[in-house]
């Protein structure tokens, strides 16, 4: 299949262009010849199927970061029909170097000048025809954010592909680097000549809003309190909107189960009908009811990231993170871990220093991922008033932050790093509503399709544990789940976790998405409100709080463990990560629960 590769610097809107061109059909998969996964999608242009691959953002083909090495290996292993080079139209005075490198390699290429709206706002004028003539490559001016010029890109791709006698073969890595070294000396002069011929820069930069906002949001004293205040406000908003939506969807799913599925399954044997309704449907339905909350979370985090505020957070935290043996990138990746720990750990590849990567991988699993978030939203709504519940959720986020800091302080001596941080602060941007909705939908879809395998396996396993051996009372002390809870009681009783909660935690090691579904099966309640009443009648608020802290800190899900193993390539480090998080979870819950007991509050 014809292969198109999308390459560009970070913060050029490359991913936005990719999403605009591919819609919701993109997927992440392994690429032949590489040990990493890349975003890819199929395009149909003039009836011709094309494979579009989104390469990692890089600054220079001769760079030494992990992402730059991935791009070089891609060029080495893959015959590329067309390189789509995405540049920020307002920053061509320092971004044309990448296009010149592609040109000097002789690869077929199309240059896309993105963020045309931003360039116009800043007073930057670009003549794409002059630039195309000087480069000898087609050049198009677009605004992917607003969807302007996309058809021009498609037409340019269509014109660039036909007429080529053959497809360029893979470039040997040594040959590639030798050619880049040979032309390196002339690139700076060539870039200056291109800018002088095709770009008119303003005498004074017009982005006054960025300067004014940075004066406040990057203030050395006010910056961090404002950031954490904004995060607290975001969680309050998610909680206020998401919980009613979650309750409404849960009621609807319970109604469908009782009014439609239960009569339909009535003729089946009790064991089979119970398995399908109380096990499979109730477990999956309980987790599904929290998808609106997860969508709101991804929507809010998307606004924070795409507005440019997330980069400022990394800048603000860099000096503090340096004292922990980390840098601002570690903080950003930890924030990414709020969505899912797996891609955040994969993101550590941008770090050249192995010690920095390992220490970052050690702290990221403490980020409160979306799978754990739905458990906490449920428990907080069941045991606390709305205002208190929002504070509990925010407190859990702070706890995850404290756990990460403590981990870094304890292990920084074992994983010392001297790698400097290079961080670019993009101008503030206002994300569009369609852009944010599309992103939230893609993230929720990815979350659901990633989690559904674990959810189905988990809730089925929990139901079987509750209903086997044959003939015992479901979830009784004689059932497999009761025996498991009893066996672990000496370990978990001191932290207030009863046998039923124990079973949910055991299966939570497979995936945290299973915890709620497991509780629904264990307590035999599909409706979130009925489930919350059943749990409130069985455990105290102190036990629930201890359960939440343990769920936050204990061993990350099996997928996270697998990624840590594959990325670190060290079994001993993986065991350290699992053992440390499990030990910290038990100690934290023990201190909390026993402290509440001694105060007479449990």
So where are the chain's domains? 2-200, 224-417+434-598
Residue of 512, 552, 246, 287 lying closest to 393 (CA atoms): 552
Q: How confident is the model at residue 396 (pLDDT cuts 50, 70, 90)?
A: very high
Q: How confident is the model at residue 468 (pLDDT cuts 50, 70, 90)?
A: confident
The residues, ordered by sequence, that sit 6+ positions from 220 with a Cβ below 8 Å of its Cβ are: none
Phi, psi torsion values for 39, nearest 5 degrees: -75, 135
Q: How far apart are CA 4 and CA 153, in angstroms?
A: 13
- Pairing between β-strand 199-200 and β-strand 139-141 as defined by DSSP bridges: unpaired
- Pairing between β-strand 2-8 and β-strand 48-54 as defined by DSSP bridges: parallel
Which of 94-98, 241-245, 251-255, 500-504 has the weakest average pLDDT?
Answer: 241-245
Q: What percent of the chain stands above pLDDT 90?
A: 24
Q: Where is 225: in which H helix or E strand?
A: helix 223-256
Q: How confident is the model at residue 364 (pLDDT cuts 50, 70, 90)?
A: very high
Q: How confident is the model at residue 419 (pLDDT cuts 50, 70, 90)?
A: low
Q: How far apart are CA 547 and CA 550, in angstroms?
A: 5
Whole-number pLDDT of residue 201:
81
Average pLDDT, the chain: 82
Whole-number pLDDT of residue 339:
67
What are the residues facing 109 on neighbouring strands?
A: 83
Whole-number pLDDT of residue 41:
85
- The torsion region of residue 169 among left (phi > 0), alpha (psi -120 to 50) and beta comes to beta
Mean of pLDDT values over 164-183: 61
Whole-number pLDDT of residue 328:
77
The structure tokens listed for 542 are 């102190």
Mean of pLDDT values over 107-119: 91
pLDDT tens per residue across span 199-246: 888 876 656 778 888 888 888 888 888 887 887 787 678 767 877 887
Whole-number pLDDT of residue 475:
66
CB of 330 closer than 8 Å to CB of 322: no
Q: How confident is the model at residue 19 (pLDDT cuts 50, 70, 90)?
A: confident
Q: What percent of the chain stands above pLDDT 70?
A: 88
Q: How confident is the model at residue 437 (pLDDT cuts 50, 70, 90)?
A: confident
The structure tokens listed for 114 are 């993105």
More confident residue, 553 or 178: 553
Q: How far apart are CA 232 and CA 238, in angstroms?
A: 10
3-state secondary structure of 569: coil
Residue of 499, 538, 497, 504 lying closest to 519 (CA atoms): 504
Q: Which of 152-156, 307-311, 458-462 is predicted most confidently?
A: 152-156
Fold of 2-200: Rossmann fold (3.40.50)
| Strand order through the sheet with 27-30 | 27-30, 37-45, 48-54, 2-8, 82-88, 109-114, 139-141
Residue of 518, 276, 235, 488 lying closest to 375 (CA atoms): 518
- Single pTM value for the model: 0.65
Q: Where are the beta strands (DSSP E) in 128-172?
A: 139-141
CB of 326 closer than 8 Å to CB of 363: yes
Rg from Cα positions in the chain: 27
Whole-number pLDDT of residue 2:
83
Q: How confident is the model at residue 352 (pLDDT cuts 50, 70, 90)?
A: low
pLDDT tens per residue across span 273-304: 888 887 778 767 766 776 787 688 778 877 88
Q: How far apart are CA 6 and CA 20, in angstroms?
A: 13
Does the pLDDT of residue 455 top 90, yes or no? no
pLDDT tens per residue across span 521-530: 788 886 778 8
Which of 250-259, 436-445, 447-456 has the weakest average pLDDT?
Answer: 447-456
pLDDT tens per residue across span 74-103: 888 888 889 999 999 988 988 999 999 999
pLDDT tens per residue across span 268-278: 988 888 888 87
**Total residues belonging to the chain:** 602
- Pairing between β-strand 48-54 and β-strand 37-45 as defined by DSSP bridges: antiparallel
Q: Residue 524 burial by CB count (10 A; 0-12/13-18/19+): exposed, middle or buried?
A: middle
The structure tokens listed for 24 are 């919701």
Whole-number pLDDT of residue 183:
79
């Amino acid at each position: 299949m014809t292969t198109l590769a999308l390459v560009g610097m970070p913060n050029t809107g490359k991913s936005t262009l990719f999403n605009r061109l591919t819609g919701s059909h993109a997927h992440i998969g392994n690429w032949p010849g590489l040990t990493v996964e890349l975003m890819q999608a199929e395009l149909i242009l003039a009836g011709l199927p094309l494979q579009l691959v989104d390469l990692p953002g890089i600054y220079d083909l001769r760079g030494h970061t992990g992402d730059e090495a991935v791009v070089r290996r891609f060029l080495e292993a893959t015959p590329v029909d067309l390189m789509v080079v995405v540049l920020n139209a307002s920053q061509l005075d320092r971004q044309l170097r990448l296009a010149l490198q592609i040109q000097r390699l002789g690869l077929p290429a199309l240059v896309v000048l993105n963020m045309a709206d931003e360039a116009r706002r800043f007073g930057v004028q670009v003549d794409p025809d002059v630039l195309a003539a000087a480069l000898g490559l087609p050049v198009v001016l677009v605004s992917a954010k607003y969807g302007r010029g996309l058809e021009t890109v498609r037409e340019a791709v269509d014109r660039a592909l036909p007429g080529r006698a053959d497809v360029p073969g893979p470039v040997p890595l040594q040959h590639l680097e030798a050619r880049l070294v040979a032309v390196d000396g002339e690139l700076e002069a060539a870039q200056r000549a291109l800018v002088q011929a095709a770009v008119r820069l303003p005498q004074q930069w017009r982005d006054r809003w960025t300067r004014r906002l940075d004066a406040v949001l990057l203030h050395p004293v006010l910056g961090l309190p404002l950031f954490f205040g904004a995060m607290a406000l975001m969680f309050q908003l998610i909680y206020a909107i998401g919980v009613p939506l979650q309750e409404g969807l849960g009621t609807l799913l319970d109604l469908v189960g009782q009014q439609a599925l239960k009569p339909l399954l009535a003729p089946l044997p009790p064991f089979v009908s119970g398995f399908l309704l109380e096990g499979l449907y109730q477990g999956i339905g309980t987790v599904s009811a929290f998808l609106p909350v997860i969508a709101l979370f991804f929507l809010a985090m998307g606004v924070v990231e795409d507005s440019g505020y997330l980069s400022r957070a990394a800048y603000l935290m860099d000096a503090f993170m340096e004292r922990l043996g980390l840098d601002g990138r570690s903080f950003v990746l930890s924030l990414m871990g709020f969505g899912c720990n797996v891609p955040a750990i994969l993101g550590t590849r941008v770090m050249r220093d192995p010690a920095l990567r390992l220490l970052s991988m050690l702290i990221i699993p403490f980020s409160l991922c979306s799978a754990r978030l739905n458990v906490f939203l449920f428990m907080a709504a069941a045991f606390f008033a709305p205002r208190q519940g929002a504070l509990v959720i925010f407190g859990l986020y702070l706890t995850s932050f404290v756990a990460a800091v403590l981990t870094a302080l304890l292990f920084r001596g074992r994983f010392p790093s001297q790698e400097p941080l290079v961080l670019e602060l993009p101008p503030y941007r206002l994300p569009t509503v369609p852009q944010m909705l599309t992103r939230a939908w893609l993230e929720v879809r990815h979350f659901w399709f990633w989690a559904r395998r674990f959810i189905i396996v988990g809730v089925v396993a929990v139901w079987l544990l509750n209903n086997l051996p044959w003939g015992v009372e479901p979830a009784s002390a004689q059932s497999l789940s009761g025996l498991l809870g009893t066996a672990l009681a000496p370990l978990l009783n001191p932290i207030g976790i009863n046998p039923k909660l124990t079973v949910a935690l055991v299966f939570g090691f497979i995936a945290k998405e299973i915890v709620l579904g497991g509780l629904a099966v264990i307590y035999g309640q599909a409706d979130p409100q009925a489930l919350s009443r059943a749990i409130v009648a069985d455990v105290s608020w102190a036990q629930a709080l201890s359960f939440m802290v343990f769920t936050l800190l204990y061993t990350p899900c099996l997928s996270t463990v697998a990624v840590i193993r594959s990325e670190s390539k060290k079994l001993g480090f993986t065991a350290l990560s699992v053992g440390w998080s499990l030990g910290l979870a038990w100690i934290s819950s023990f201190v909390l629960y026993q402290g509440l007991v001694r105060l007479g509050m449990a």
